[in-house]
């Protein structure tokens, strides 16, 4: 438990006062009987998408709630996790006054969103073992620190944060602790979802962009207390998840066997790729991965990146990130793609 947590004190005053826009679909939902909908100025002729989508995505949330073992009232959906993260900034961080804490090297969007929202970003580097530096984090926290972003498994390092470290932050920080679990389905560690009831300051984000194979539909998920979800619901655009995305997501998550099969293959491929990388001479270190990518340290990342491009293979150069000098990030592809990757790496050796 974190006994110092006070949600009302965290929400921006303008958001606390806000009366949200009430859409036509908020005011009247279909009850299943034959109603005539003349309330939203839609075109009445059928195109399959002539009606506005459900602003609360009830069908999709019901299915997600079942799969994840979370109540629907603890879920908010967004146009990718990027929208979810932006909503969290806008609900809790007063521009020019509040600050957030991020732990580089990590996902670049936290810093970008802090900049867009004009919120100070206090960056506390991970330890050399890529774990949160707890004492340094708690030292920079002040009363305007609203959010700490933890990415676990972390992008681009690929490792998960230790349970003790995360617990330390959850127990000792009275702002929001956002754990970005974009890669959780590839991890040997369990999700933090089961701790949602224990920690009122815990916010978890997930996405359909990685393990679920749906980056194109932009579907991000936020799990938090009913109260936090209520705040985010107040400020989200009414129809932020479009009808096509809702339908495609539903179709995919009602076929979880397929998703699990693909994840299993990616994990096997990750192991195979890891072993093959051991034979590439210019690779100096291969970092253990809990995600669908592997970070490697090489002799000259920029040179190797260009050579790989010439071989027709696009990887990510992470050399400018702190603690990531001369590193490259390799996404695990299909077996055939990984074969090409390995062949190319050996060819430029």
Ligand X SMILES: *Cc1c(COP(=O)(O)O)cnc(C)c1O
Residues engaged in binding ligand X (CB under 6 A) = 80-82, 107, 151, 155, 180, 182, 207, 209-210, 215, 220
For residues 155 and 245, which CB has a smaller minimum distance to ligand X in the complex? 155
Q: Among residues 174 and 187, whose Cβ is nearest to ligand X?
A: 187
Q: Which is nearer to ligand X, 114 or 345 (CB)?
A: 114
State the residue number with the nearest CB to ligand X.
80
- Long-range contact set of residues 224-227: C-beta below 8 Å, sequence gap at least 24: 224/74, 224/76, 224/196, 225/7, 225/74, 225/196, 225/200, 226/71, 226/73, 226/74, 227/7, 227/200
Give the integer Cα–Cα distance in Å for 342 and 325: 22
To ligand X, the closest distance from the beta carbon of 297 in angstroms equals 20
Instruction: Output 113 or 344, the one with its CB closest to ligand X.
Output: 113
Q: How far is the CB of 38 from ligand X (least distance, A)?
A: 36
> Nearest distance from residue 177's CB to ligand X, in Å?
15
Cβ neighbours of residue 183 closer than 8 Å, sequence gap 6 or more: 153, 155, 158, 210, 211, 290, 291, 292
Q: Which is nearer to ligand X, 63 or 180 (CB)?
A: 180
SS3 of 46-71: CCCCCCCCCCCCHHHHHHHHHHHCCC
**Minimum distance, C-beta of residue 309 to ligand X, in the bound complex (Å):** 22
- What is the DSSP secondary structure assignment for residue 72, as one 8-state letter? G
Task: Choose between 183 and 199: whose C-beta lies nearer to ligand X.
Answer: 183
Between 54 and 180, name the residue whose CB sits nearer to ligand X: 180
**Cβ proximity of 226 and 73 under 8 Å:** yes
- Report the C-alpha gap between 116 and 191 in whole angstroms: 29
CB of residue 278 vs ligand X: minimum separation in angstroms? 25
Tell me how far, at minimum, the Cβ of 239 lies from ligand X, in Å.
18
d(CA 87, CA 241): 14
Q: Which regions of the chain does DSSP assign to beta strands (E)?
A: 75-78, 99-102, 120-123, 145-151, 176-180, 202-207, 220-223, 283-286, 293-298, 316-317, 327-331
């Amino acid at each position: 438990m974190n006994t110092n947590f006070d949600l009302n004190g965290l929400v921006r005053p303008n958001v606390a006062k806000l009366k949200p826009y009430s859409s036509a679909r908020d005011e009247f939902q279909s009850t299943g009987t034959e109603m005539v909908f003349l309330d939203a100025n839609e075109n009445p002729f059928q195109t399959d998408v002539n009606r506005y989508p459900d602003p609360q995505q009830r069908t999709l949330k019901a299915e997600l709630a079942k799969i994840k073992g979370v109540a629907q009232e603890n879920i908010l959906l967004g146009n990718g996790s990027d929208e979810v993260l932006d909503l969290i900034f806008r609900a809790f961080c007063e521009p020019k006054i509040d600050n957030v804490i991020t732990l580089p090297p990590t996902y670049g969007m936290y810093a970008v969103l802090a900049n867009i929202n004009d919120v100070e970003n206090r960056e506390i580097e991970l330890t050399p073992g890529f774990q949160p530096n707890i004492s340094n984090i708690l030292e920079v926290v002040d009363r305007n620190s609203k959010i700490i972003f933890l990415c676990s498994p972390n992008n681009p390092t690929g490792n998960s944060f230790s349970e003790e470290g995360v617990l330390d932050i959850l127990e000792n920080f009275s702002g929001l602790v956002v754990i970005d679990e974009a890669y959780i389905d590839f991890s040997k560690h369990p999700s933090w979802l089961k701790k949602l009831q224990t920690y009122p300051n815990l916010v978890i984000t997930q996405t359909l962009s990685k393990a679920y194979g749906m980056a194109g539909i932009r579907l991000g998920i936020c799990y938090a207390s009913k109260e936090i979800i209520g705040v985010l619901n107040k400020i989200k655009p009414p129809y932020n998840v479009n009808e096509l995305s809702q339908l495609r997501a539903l179709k995919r998550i009602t076929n979880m066997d397929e998703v699990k099969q693909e994840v299993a293959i990616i994990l096997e491929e990750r192991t195979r790729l890891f072993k093959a990388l051991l034979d590439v001479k210019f690779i100096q270190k291969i970092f253990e991965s809990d995600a669908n990518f592997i970070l490697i340290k090489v002799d000259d990342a920029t040179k190797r990146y260009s050579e790989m491009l010439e071989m027709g293979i696009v990887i990510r150069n992470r050399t400018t990130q702190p603690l990531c000098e001369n590193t490259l990030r390799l996404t695990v592809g299909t077996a055939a793609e990984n074969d090409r990757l390995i062949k190319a790496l050996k060819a430029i050796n």
